[in-house]
Amino acid sequence: MSQTPASTRTPPPVPKTFLEFLGAFGPSIIVVLTWLGAGDIVDMGVAGSNYGYSLLWVLVVAVFMRFVLVSVIGRYQLCNQHHENVLDGLVRLHRWYAPILFVGAIGMGHVYESYMTVGTGETVRNMTGVGETWMWALVCNGAAFLLVFRGSYGPLEWMFKVFLGLLSVSFIGSALWVGFSGVDVVRGLTTFEMPGSKGPFEAITVAMAMIGAVGGSFMNLVYPYFLEEKGWRGPQYLKVQFYDLLLGVVVMILLNIAVWVLGAELLFPDQHISQLDDLPNLLSTVLGPAGRQLFYLGVFAAIFTSVVGHAAGLASLGSHAWIRWRTGVAPHAEQYKSHPMYRGIATWCLISPLIWTLPGMPDFVTLTLAANSAQVVLLPLLAGGLWRITASGRYIGEKYKNRWWENTTLALLFLLAIYGAYKSAGLILRGFTGL
């Protein structure tokens, strides 16, 4: 089995002081803002509007499971005895992981970017009151195209940090402006109650699907590529990687809770989200036009960073999978970043979804729900494979293999992924057959 060649770039210094750690943070900010896109805004708003604060604890459980999974992904990337990428570790389990992930990167690249492209277009159109969705989507995806094709990690990280500040001011500021009961939030986080069901799905189904989908998302696999771009290679970066990811996940929880609060305070129990403009319009009635614009700035920041992050991450994943599939050799980052397949997949991710912005196509919320359902069928394969390579000393090495509580968490996540895939397949089948 071929090993990944060492990078020719000089690695960054390992931080030692508090300020050095703060200055080093970055990969998790990119990956968290890539995760935190249109789906989160819709899902958190819908959950808050349907159930108030009673299912808020599910968010924390879901994000905790994602933190455990992505932590062990990061540990494999930095510490495995074969000095290889996570994708190459999965290929050690079975060679078909490479073509499956290649096809998945292309397919999910279109699916994910479809609703995010529509989302950016709708957001800017609604903010400005000028133009059409397709026009603004073309402008935003064009800007994303330039960012992805510059090929420099530093400016990308800087841009994501700026957008993180904008997101924090927008979502958390809007939630504070609307006002909420801290006691209700704490109760929702700690009570672990299961409310009565609303809509077509039981509350327990919503809870387990949220945990399985968040924890086992296909986009968890792009995290190693941002670590490589940062230059973190080797066990010496394990500590800074852990705290970097912890910071990112805490920020993710706070931003999601902020959107959940808006749904609970403005919509629960009598109103529901049916289109992207519902929450901003309600904010306009409560806070005036300034509140609406403030929230829209956050929506744009969340979706645009996801457009950029998905294109860059999936292009790296797809190019890597292609080279590994066709050559059988584990490439290093410089090889798959410079390969024509990287540019081809990035272009595909940013250009092909523009078709969904044309008049008569499905709306933003419909595309979001369809995309979230589409990824679920892959989750057992990914969750099971990642659990296996991080639990066995044969793959990651005896020193860094999972501890018992990590294996317990990943086993539960694997079972939930199977459950979610089963439920999703049933819904898709009923949608096609009408049964």
Of 140-144, 304-308, 372-376, the range with the lowest mean pLDDT is: 372-376
**Residue 432, pLDDT score:** 44
Instruction: Measure the CA–CA gap between 216 and 238, rounded to whole angstroms.
Output: 22
Question: What is the rounded end-to-end Cα distance, in angstroms, of the chain?
Answer: 49
pLDDT score, position 2? 42
Confidence of residue 7 (pLDDT cuts 50, 70, 90): low
CATH superfamily of 26-433: Amino acid/polyamine transporter I (1.20.1740.10)
The answer on pLDDT for 287 being more than 80 is no
**Domain spans of the chain, in order of start:** 26-433
User: Residue 226 has what pLDDT?
Assistant: 95
Residue 219: pLDDT above 80? Answer: yes
Average pLDDT over residues 226-248: 95
Q: Is the confidence at residue 168, as pLDDT, over 70?
A: yes
Query: Which range among 68-72, 292-296, 358-362 shows the weakest confidence by mean pLDDT?
Result: 358-362
Determine the pLDDT at residue 323.
96
Percent of the chain with pLDDT over 90: 49
Tokens of 265: 């305070």
Q: Is there a contact between 322 and 314 (Cβ–Cβ < 8 Å)?
A: no
pLDDT digits (tens, 9 = 90+) for 41-57: 777 877 788 888 988 88
For residues 253 and 62, what is the distance between their CA atoms, to the nearest angstrom? 10
Whether 4 has a pLDDT exceeding 70, the answer reads no
Instruction: Give the model confidence (pLDDT) of 64-122 as tens digits.
Output: 888 999 999 999 999 999 999 999 999 999 999 999 999 999 988 998 898 889 889 98
**Average of per-residue pLDDT across 172-179:** 90
Per the model's pLDDT, the better-predicted residue between 204 and 318 turns out to be 318
Question: Of 122-126, 190-194, 201-205, where does mean pLDDT reach its minimum?
Answer: 201-205
Query: Can you say whether the dihedral through the CA atoms of 328, 332, 333, 339 is positive or negative?
Result: negative
Q: How much is the average pLDDT of 153-164?
A: 92
Write down the mean pLDDT value for the chain: 84
42-46, 59-63, 331-335, 391-395: least confidently modelled range: 42-46
